[in-house]
Amino acid sequence: MKVSVIVNQKNSIFDTEKSILQNINEMGIDIPTLCYHEDISTSGVCKVCSVEIVGRGLVTSCDNYPEDKMELFTHSNKVEEFRKDRIKDILKDHSNDCLTCEKAMGDCELQNISYEYGVENRGDGTREKKAIDNSSFAFVRDMNKCIGCQKCVKVCEEIQGIGVYCVKEDGTIGMTHETLAETNCIACGQCVKICPVGALHEKIDLKGLNYDLKNPEKHIIVQMAPAVKNTLGEEFGILPGTDVTKKMVAALKELGFDKVFSTDFGADVTIMEEGTEFLDRFTNGGVLPMFTSCCPGWVNYAEINHPEFLDNLSSCKSPQQIFGALSKSYYSKVSKVKPADIFSVSIMPCTAKKTEIRRDMLTDDDGNKDVDLVITTRELAKLFKMNKISLANYKKEEEFDKFLGEGTGAARIFATTGGVMEAALRTVSDVLGETTHSLEYKEVRGFEGIREASLTIAGKEVNVAVINGIKGATPFLESIKRGERKVDFIEVMACVGGCLNGGGAPAPDNLRVVAQRRAGLYNSDETSPLRKSHENIEVKKLYEEFLGKPGGHKSHHLLHTHYESRKK
């Protein structure tokens, strides 16, 4: 229903299905917030979004709705003074360590709003100092910086369905256990991305990397995930979905990386291995349904919550780890650099990737890790800024280094939910001799929580499913156990929208932004000269000269892994 509302003495039409804040935002008027996010329920606890309604006084705009003939002011003197007092109250108990906080450099929403309102951090030091939780391999929890906005609680419960955090009786934020490591946290990082301050942040090792890149005796190579290419630009004011690949490659070389490669190559190899594995299971009576295994958040979830399905997971390593394994074997052999002397870095949109590289089973026979260091998309932006590189004004462009740098459009769409399944189907259908289906499998595209499709491929019925967001995993798995679903191949992405919405992606963001990123991603696929993984020339060369055949003895030794129950 539409109603007439007077905003700052101007007539306007508001939608009563939307909050006052949402309506005001659509007018292009900026209202400050700290606890509000459009993808989760509102709490109204920070109150800095308050507006003045004539006849009612100050009300929070995020959880109040417009009425006909309502008159309001968004920035009256009364409103501005109230906001300033609220910011002062929040800062009174906040840590006074902005100079060393990981959220500095414009990423802290509290710092930004304090600057806007001219409020200095004058913490009185009476707040009890709390121990910092470093138990997670992925991120840090520092409750000395928490402002009680409840965003972490809501995103973990409402969006992810994990429920690690809780609101205690006194309004502070607690957890189900004493430390993150003791909880059922899957390290997806959605709480990290949504946190407006530095109470949650990914574990960062940029200082060490920045120092090592200036050391000519270090041989450092880097891979970048598909999602990074269509999202990093946002950190420099570039529109979501814009492809900044060539600029990024040039900037990484300028920083001092010896070789700049693409995880897309690893994704294409993943399809060769995973597709072969699925065909073997499907045609020879193997364990079905088979689940994809490239999302470490999903793997963590399965090991913690549903170990009974571990045999159903593809044994194939993720694209990151496949690339890492090949960098310490194939690349080492050709470049004549010893595996122990190669420092392999990956740039990921995912905090769970930081936990993945710590898995004991992801090392070679000599104990060398497949991947030595993971930095997120946000960390890469900080690394560029530390070195005075701004992609918005950057003119240089370069291609990936050859040998491990070529990727297809199929690999590129790994970054979005349904993309791994579609990439696999493009290759599986070719292997089976399918000629009638189009190149694009739009049946598995979309943002629905669960998508299912029954496809006829070369006369064979293949039932597939895509689980978009980990919240939908348990009910789906339980329905399989009850025999209610007949499905052969299942993709699971822990984050809604896939890697484009990963816990290490640019922030703040929302699902509208993720949709823009996805559009740019599909455009990159459509304009790619090669759109099927098995057409990748460098991948063909890899098998011809080094691995032999997909699923063969050498491939299985290097590119496959196993999983272990962690159910408490």
CATH number of 227's domain: 3.40.950.10
Whether residue 529 lies inside any domain: the answer is: yes
pLDDT mean over 182-195: 98
390 and 250 both lie in a single domain:
yes
Domain end point (choices 48, 73, 90)? 90
Same domain, 80 and 229: no
Token digits of residue 148:
């009680």
Average pLDDT over residues 498-522: 97
Classify residue 344: in a domain, yes or no.
yes
* Pair (306, 435) in one structural domain: yes
Q: What is the structure's pLDDT at 125?
A: 56
Note whether residue 420 is domain-resident.
yes
- The CA distances from residue 475 to 120, 362, 384, 387, 465, in Å, are 48, 30, 42, 47, 13
The average pLDDT across 179-183 equals 96
In a domain, 398, yes or no: yes
Domain span including residue 83: 2-90
| Contact call for residues 162 and 470 (beta carbons, < 8 A) | yes
Domain end residue (candidates: 46, 70, 90): 90
Inside any domain, residue 276: yes
Report if residue 78 sits inside a domain: yes
Residue 273: predicted pLDDT: 98
Band of pLDDT at residue 124, cut at 50, 70 and 90: low
The mean pLDDT of 457-474, rounded to a whole number, is 95
Q: Give per-residue pLDDT as tens, 432-451.
A: 998 888 899 999 999 999 99
CATH number of the domain where residue 17 is located: 3.10.20.740
Residue 105: pLDDT band (50, 70, 90) is confident
Does residue 92 register a pLDDT over 90? no
Q: How far apart are CA 531 and CA 288, in angstroms?
A: 27
pLDDT at 358 over 90: yes
Note whether 217 and 76 are same-domain residues.
no
Chain segment 263-295, per-residue pLDDT in tens: 999 999 999 999 999 999 999 999 999 999 999
Predicted confidence (pLDDT) per residue in 211-251, tens digit: 999 999 999 999 999 999 999 999 999 999 999 999 999 99
Nearest alpha-carbon partner for 559 in 269, 254, 348, 182: 269
Show which of 38, 69, 90 is a domain's final residue: 90
Instruction: Looking at the structure, tell me whether residues 77 and 215 fall in a common domain.
Output: no
Q: Are residues 73 and 213 in the same domain?
A: no
Determine the average pLDDT of the residues in 251-267: 98
Write out the two tokens for 465. Answer: 């499913």
Answer yes or no: is 244 within a domain: yes
What pLDDT is stored for residue 434 in this prediction?
A: 87
104 domain residue, yes or no: no
DSSP letters, 144-188, are TS-----HHHHIIIIIS----EEE-TTS-EEESSSSGGGTT----
Task: Classify burial at 363, counting beta carbons within 10 Å of its beta carbon; exposed 0-12, middle 13-18, buried 19 or more.
Answer: middle
Q: What is the mean pLDDT of residues 64-89?
A: 96
Total domains in the chain come to 2
